[in-house]
C-alpha cells in the first residue's frame, strides 16, 4: 500500500505491507533507529513516539493506519541544533544509564507536558508509568521532568514545536 508519513516535518511516500508496524517503518524503512523496540507488545514504552502531537506506542500501530499523520520521533525534537528542553534536562539530571528506554521516556515526557495534567511528583510518576526503565533511573527521570514542568509554569509559553 502507498502511504505518506510526515516524519519530523519531512513527507515520506512509502510502499508498505499492511502488517508493518509504525515502529518497524521508522527503524527499517526510514533508518530512524532512535525509536527503540523493547517488548514489541505495548508493555514497556520504549517505542513511544508522538502522532499528531499525542504519545502512542508505535509497536502496536500499523503504519498504513497513520497515512497522512504528523509523526515526531526522538530525532525530530532538537530544533536548529538546540536540544529540546526535555533532552537538556535528561542530560542535566543524568536521567539514564544504558539509555535504551531514553528516547521513549523523552517522547513520552514531551507528550505528558503537552497534555498538561501532571503537576505533582505523584502525578508525573503515574502519568509516566507507561515507560519502564530496566536500569531503574526513575528518580533522575522524575527530577528531569519536574524541572521542565517548573520552568514551563514560570516562563511564558514558547511558540511552535511539540
Residues 6+ apart with CB under 8 A from 149: 113, 118, 119, 124
CA distance 33 to 59: 13
Tell me: does residue 109 bind ligand FES (CB under 6 A): no
Taking CB under 6 A as the rule, does residue 43 contact ligand FAD?
Answer: yes
- The single residue among 14, 78, 83, 127 that binds another protein, judged by CB under 8 A, is 127
The answer to whether 140 and 94 have CB atoms below 8 angstroms apart is yes
Q: Per-residue x/- marks for ligand FES, 113-152, CB under 6 A? A: --------------------xxx-x---------------
> Based on the number of CB atoms within 10 Å of its own CB, is 5 exposed (0-12), middle (13-18) or buried (19 or more)?
buried
Q: Find which of ligand FAD, ligand FES, another protein, none residue 122 binds, CB within 5 to 8 Å per kind.
A: another protein
* Contact partner, 126, from ligand FAD, ligand FES, another protein, none, Cβ < 5-8 Å per class: another protein
Show Cβ contacts of residue 132 under 8 Å, excluding neighbours closer than 6 positions: 38, 43, 44, 45, 46, 101
Task: Point out which residues bind ligand FES (CB under 6 A).
Answer: 37-40, 42-47, 57, 59, 96-102, 133-135, 137
Amino acid at each position: 500500500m502507498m502511504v505518506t508519513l510526515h516524519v519530523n516535518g519531512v513527507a515520506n511516500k512509502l510502499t508498505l505491507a499492511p502488517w508493518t508496524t509504525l515502529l518497524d517503518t521508522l527503524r527499517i524503512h526510514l533508518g530512524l533507529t532512535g525509536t527503540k523496540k523493547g517488548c514489541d507488545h505495548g508493555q514497556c514504552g520504549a517505542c513511544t513516539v508522538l502522532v499528531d502531537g499525542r504519545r502512542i506506542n508505535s509497536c502496536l500501530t500499523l503504519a498504513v493506519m497513520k497515512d497522512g499523520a504528523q509523526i515526531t520521533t526522538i530525532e525530530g525534537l532538537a530544533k536548529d541544533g538546540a536540544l529540546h528542553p526535555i533532552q537538556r534536562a535528561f542530560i542535566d539530571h543524568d536521567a539514564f544509564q544504558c539509555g535504551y528506554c531514553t528516547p521513549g521516556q523523552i517522547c513520552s515526557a514531551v507528550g505528558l507536558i503537552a497534555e498538561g495534567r501532571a503537576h505533582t511528583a505523584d502525578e508525573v510518576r503515574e502519568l509516566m508509568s507507561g515507560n519502564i526503565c530496566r536500569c531503574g533511573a526513575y528518580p533522575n527521570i522524575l527530577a528531569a521532568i519536574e524541572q521542565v514542568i517548573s520552568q514551563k509554569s514560570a516562563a511564558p509559553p514558547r511558540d511552535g514545536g511539540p
